Amino acid sequence: MSGGERMSDETAIPVVQMRRPRWGDPARTAELPGAAAALAGDRQADAGVDPATITLARPAVDVDVREQISELVGPDNVSDADVVRVQHTRGYSTPDILRLRAGDADDAPDLVVYPGDHDEVVAILRLCSERRIAVVPFTGGTSVVGGLTPDRAGVAGVISLDLRRLDRVVEIDEISRMATLEAGLRGPAAEALLREKGWTIGHFPQSYEGAGIGGYAATRSAGQSSAGYGRFDEMVEGLVLATPRGTIELGTAPRSAAGPDLRQLVLGSEGVFGVITSVQLRIRPVPTTRVFDAWRFASFADGATALRRLAQDGPLPTVLRLSDEVETALNLADPAGAGSEASGPSDTGAGGEGEAGDGGSAGCLVVAGYEGGADEVARRRDAASALLTDVGGSALGDGPGEAWRTGRFAGPYLRDPLLDAGVLVETLETVAFWSRLHEVRTAVTAALTDSLTASGTPPLVMCHISHVYESGASLYFTVVAPFGDDPLEQWAAAKTAANTAIRASGASITHHHAVGRDHRDAYHDEIGPLALDALRAVKASLDPAGVCNPGILI
């Protein structure tokens, strides 16, 4: 769409109350992608155990603790029902889902608590600190790195602190172009409320249907439009953190030389220092024009050079991504195929890119999207198109780009039929400097291929770039392979090999999926023992009993 019509696509997407282990709206289904059917063979489809039939052990939290929490939040806002606890068990990584599909909900919290405001959160944290009960913040529950599975060693129980009642737009400061949002407000609801006043956050990760404001902040989320709007942590002007020892309010002004920027210490902390209860965000006017172009490059290296030129010299599109040869071929041959990010929620995008017309499926696909006012979009689009042509790109028109834009939120729905058919599908991502990017991509692809081939399940490994910076870019890998004898062990070995390759190549263990439990050891290696001691000291100061999401990050 390239006219002057006001954009409302993401606002039309409702908040989805998902039912684990499947993704998204239960009424919405996806068919097995044609490109993956060969991997499934003649396996009988198996949707796994119905989570509503899972029976859990009695809650470990003492009755008197539950009574005290009920006094704080009201008895209707505390639950130990099995079905509620199961729906707060783990996140949405493929291993998390495979365990739940097998009927394993052993990591379920003992209680699910729904606080109504910041003061109630502080009071719950203080009580749990006194009684040594672990507290796991929960907004959308879309973690893909084990961020919702705390260590139970040394604690008397686990509470899932569901923030859904903290769902207000507290203030819109139109002069400063800022909005204060409570942490439990889900992405689609936040956008809908802001757009009533003509504003947008511009943050649309592929987990958008289910994720929330607090989760975005706690994990340093990055959405599809990061080139234009920035990562979520770049949008944050202030925040409020509840800890067992009290409240921290950060963000006096947009920029300050008053010591280290403590906002950045809290952003990405994944609940280990406390619970983020509200966030003050930069907002932008709702765009009036949006157009998504597609380009073909002969190779991934050529496409990456084009993206680097745009990132370093401009002009930057609002959305900029590059699919490798494998992902491009599969997506252009089958828009709903295995080249989509079918592993579930992520913080980049990938639906099928659609047909490329006369462009065919050879080479690598670049999608460049532009949002804003009509004149500003035209200026950036013309200048970027001239650069892309100059460095060897072939224009494919806006058809494939628009197909990607409109289909990207369907990607997570593809994982369920793949798993039903016995096809393992998962993703991982990293970020590196431009000078190391191709070395990292080669090493990680080889590590995944070698590990899964050694297990007797040769994979399809795809890669794309969807977040770019002057000095580097992200690499996002999608892996598809037939189930081995033990899919959990199969993926664990492949993930370990990939993590080792990432670190050996000098890249970061994560760009936007956070650390959780899955990346914890590699993260410790990345920052070194002295920096880790500093983080542990911060945790000891804010959470002396160690009850805030223990075992995550540090």
Per residue in 334-362, pLDDT tens? 444 333 444 444 433 333 333 333 344 57
pLDDT of residue 356: 35
Is 256 a domain residue?
Answer: yes
Q: Is residue 32 part of a domain?
A: no
* pLDDT band, very low/low/confident/very high, at 539 (cuts 50, 70, 90): very high
Does the pLDDT at position 117 exceed 60? yes
Per-residue pLDDT averaged across 175-189, rounded?
97
Which residues in 248-267 are b (16+ Cβ under 10 Å) and which e? bebbeeeeeeeeeeebebbb
Residue 329 — very low, low, confident or very high, per pLDDT cuts 50/70/90?
confident
- The tally of domains found in the chain comes to 1
Per-residue pLDDT of 68-86, as tens digits, reads 999 999 999 999 999 999 9
Cα–Cα dist 429/323, whole Å: 14
Measured distance CA(89)–CA(111) in Å, rounded: 11
Q: pLDDT above 70 covers what percent of the chain?
A: 92
CB atoms within 10 A of CB 527: 14
Predicted local distance difference test score (pLDDT) of residue 5: 36
Element (H, E) at 516: none
Of 409 and 132, the one with more pLDDT? 132
Q: What is the pLDDT of residues 20-62, one digit of tens each?
A: 999 998 888 887 766 666 777 777 889 999 999 999 999 999 9
DSSP 98-158: HHHHTT--TT--SEEE---SHHHHHHHHHHHHHHT-EEEEESS---SSSTT----TT-S-E
Quick one: pLDDT at residue 353? Answer: 32
In the predicted model, is pLDDT for residue 489 greater than 90?
yes
Q: Give me the mean pLDDT over the 298-308 stretch.
A: 98
CB atoms under 10 Å from CB of 544, counted, come to 12
Q: What is the mean pLDDT of residues 294-318?
A: 97
Instruction: Enumerate residues 6+ apart whose C-beta is below 8 A from 300.
Output: 322, 324, 325, 364, 438, 441, 463
Average pLDDT over residues 370-398: 97
pLDDT score, position 435: 98
Q: How confident is the model at residue 4, as a pLDDT?
A: 34
The H or E element that residue 293 is part of is: strand 289-297
Give the model's confidence band at 458: pLDDT under 50 very low, under 70 low, under 90 confident, else very high: very high
Asked whether residue 480 is assigned to any structural domain, the reply reads no
Least confident of 67-71, 235-239, 400-404: 400-404
Is 491 within a domain? no
The CATH number of residue 238's host domain is 3.30.465.10
517 closest CA partner among 489, 476, 554, 479: 554
Enclosing domain of residue 262 = 168-285
Q: Strand, helix or coil at 440?
A: helix
220 lies in some domain: yes
pLDDT surpasses 80 at 186 = yes
Amino acid at 271: G
* pLDDT of the residue at 33: 66
When comparing pLDDT for 411 and 492, which is higher? 492
CA dist 64 to 61, 113, 127, 242, 519, Å?
8, 15, 11, 23, 36
Sign (positive or negative) of CA dihedral 121, 125, 127, 128: positive
CA distance 219 to 198: 27
> For the whole prediction, is pTM greater than 0.95?
no
217 domain-assigned: yes
Mean pLDDT of 91-97: 97
**Helix %, strand %, coil % for the chain, to 5?**
40, 20, 45
Residue 117 lies in a domain: no
**Residue 187, in any domain of the structure:** yes
Query: Which pLDDT does position 71 carry in this prediction?
Result: 98
> What pLDDT score was predicted for residue 29?
80
pLDDT score, position 545: 98
Residue of 416, 414, 413 whose CA lies nearest to 24: 413
Burial grade of 378 (CB within 10 A; 0-12, 13-18, 19 or more)? middle
The residue to which tokens 């795809």 are assigned: 462
Are the CB atoms for 98 and 419 separated by under 8 Å?
Answer: yes
CA distance 46 to 226: 37
